[in-house]
Amino acid sequence: MNNKLSGGKLVLVPIKNLGANKIPYVEDLRNRVIKFIDFYPATLLPDTDEEGVTDVTNMYLSITDVFGNEYLIKDMPLERFNYVDTLGVKQSIKNKISLQNSAVICQNASNIGKYVALVFWYDLPEFSARNRSNVTVADSITIPITNIIRYNSLPDEERMSGKRFRNLLLGTPNVTPDLKNALPLSKLQNVYITLRKGSYNVIENIPVILLYQLQMLTKIEFANIVFDLQSSYITVGGAGSAHFTDYVDKAVFFNFVYEK
Amino acid sequence: MRLINNIDFFQVNVVGGSSEYYFPQNVSWVGKKINSLVVVGSNGQNEVSPIDGSTPLLTLNELKDLYIDLVSAEDKELARNLHVDNVVYQNNYVYSVESVLSLNLCRFIFSDNYFNSGCFLVYVIYESEETTENNPVNSVTVELQLQANDEISIKEVIDEYMHVKTECVKGLISWNTEEPFYLTLRDENDTYTFNSVHSSLMRPQINKGSAQNTQIYPLLLNNKDVDMDNSFIRNATNSTINVTLSFYY
Q: Do B90 and A214 touch (CB under 8 A)?
A: yes
Report yes or no for ipTM above 0.95. no
Interface mutation vs chain A, best among B86, B91, B98, most A CBs within 10 Å = B86
Q: Which residues of B touch A173 (CB under 8 A)?
A: 64-65, 67, 83, 111
- Model confidence pLDDT, tens digit, residues B56-108: 999 988 999 999 999 999 999 999 999 999 999 888 888 999 999 999 999 99
The CA distance from A186 to A146, in Å, is 19
> Do residues A71 and A62 lie in contact, with contact meaning Cβ atoms separated by under 8 Å?
yes
pLDDT of residue A170: 95
The minimal CB distance from A217 to the residues B79, B92, B111 is found for: B92
Q: Is A159 exposed, middle or buried (0-12, 13-18, 19+ CB in 10 A)?
A: exposed
Q: Do B64 and A134 touch (CB under 8 A)?
A: no
Q: What value does the mean pLDDT take over residues B39-49? A: 88
Please identify every stretch of chain A with a pLDDT value under 50, giving residue numbers as ranges: none
> Do residues A126 and A93 lie in contact, with contact meaning Cβ atoms separated by under 8 Å?
no
**In degrees to the nearest 10, what's the CA dihedral of B197, B201, B203, B204?**
-140
What one-character DSSP code corresponds to residue A30? T
Q: Which residues of A touch B88 (CB under 8 A)?
A: 214
- Model confidence pLDDT, tens digit, residues B209-238: 444 344 456 677 766 677 778 888 899 888
pLDDT of residue B44: 79
Q: Which residue of B has its CA nearest to A84?
A: B208
Q: How far is CA A99 from CA A13, A26, B138, B235, in A?
A: 11, 8, 47, 57
The minimal CB distance from B111 to the residues A135, A176, A214 is found for: A176
**Residue B140 above 60 pLDDT?**
yes
What one-character DSSP code corresponds to residue A159? G
Q: Which residue of A has its CA nearest to B213?
A: A86
Q: Do B109 and A172 touch (CB under 8 A)?
A: no
Interface mutation vs chain A, best among B81, B99, B214, most A CBs within 10 Å = B81
Q: How sure is the predictor about B188, in pLDDT bands with cuts at 50, 70 and 90? A: confident
pTM of this prediction?
Answer: 0.88
Q: Which one is predicted more confidently, B163 or B48? A: B48
The CA distance from B221 to A76, in Å, is 41
Q: Do B91 and A214 touch (CB under 8 A)?
A: yes
The minimal CB distance from B111 to the residues A87, A179, A217 is found for: A179
Q: Do B91 and A175 touch (CB under 8 A)?
A: no
Interface mutation vs chain B, best among A255, A256, A258, A260, most B CBs within 10 Å = A255
Q: Do A136 and B92 touch (CB under 8 A)?
A: no
pLDDT of residue B210: 43
Conformation bin of residue B60: beta by default, left when phi > 0, alpha when psi is -120 to 50: alpha
Helix/strand/coil for A144 = strand
Q: What value does the mean pLDDT take over residues B189-204? A: 81
Conformation bin of residue B115: beta by default, left when phi > 0, alpha when psi is -120 to 50: alpha
pLDDT of residue B153: 87
pLDDT of residue A207: 96
Q: Do B96 and A136 touch (CB under 8 A)?
A: yes
> Do residues B90 and A215 lie in contact, with contact meaning Cβ atoms separated by under 8 Å?
yes
The CA distance from B100 to B217, in Å, is 26
**Average model confidence (pLDDT) for chain B?**
83
Give the minimum alpha-carbon distance from B84 to chain A in angstroms, rounded to a whole number: 8
Give the minimum alpha-carbon distance from B110 to chain A in angstroms, rounded to a whole number: 8
pLDDT of residue B215: 47
The CA distance from A54 to A82, in Å, is 10
Q: How sure is the predictor about B171, in pLDDT bands with cuts at 50, 70 and 90? A: confident
